[in-house]
Amino acid sequence: MAIESPRNKTRILIVEDDFALRSMLALLMQSLGYEVFQEENGGTAVQKVLDLRPDLILLDVNLPGMKGTEICGKVKSDVRVKDIPILMMTGEFREIEDKLKGFGMGADDYVLKPVDISILIARVRAILGGR
């Protein structure tokens, strides 16, 4: 069942197991005017995406329950939610080949951890455009 809430704000789902980072990202996105939802477990993230239908997913790569790469693949292969942009967050994709693999999984963009706030904001705004 989809979460019912007025769609007057752009919805962002943050999937991150690190409480401090997830909380900081949530506060940041809320301060920019976005409606924020949070998930800490990879195993329940896909269902949360299906229920919520967010406008953007901020997705950590290393999660308990299911890796972010698997979540990305499942979301991008589901016709109901495949058009939702995914911005992956990772400390692992440092080489060109690894970056290309990330995009091959269906990710729309990614940022490296530790997250540079100005870069994150710029990428979120670029992905969401006028929303």
3-class DSSP state for residue 103? helix
In a domain, 2, yes or no: no
pLDDT 10s digits, 37-95? 999 999 999 999 999 999 999 999 888 999 888 899 899 999 999 999 999 988 765 55
Of residues 12 and 62, more confidence is placed in 12
Distances from the Cα of 115 to the Cα of 4, 26, 90, 108, 111, angstroms = 31, 13, 9, 17, 7
In a domain, 4, yes or no: no
In a domain, 77, yes or no: yes
pLDDT 10s digits, 98-115? 566 667 878 999 888 888
Amino acid at 54: P
In a domain, 33, yes or no: yes
In a domain, 46, yes or no: yes
In a domain, 5, yes or no: no
User: What's the CATH number where 51 sits?
Assistant: 3.40.50.2300
Domain region containing 27: 11-128
- Looking at the structure of the chain, the number of domains it has is 1
In a domain, 104, yes or no: yes
The model's pTM is 0.89
In a domain, 111, yes or no: yes
Amino acid at 112: L
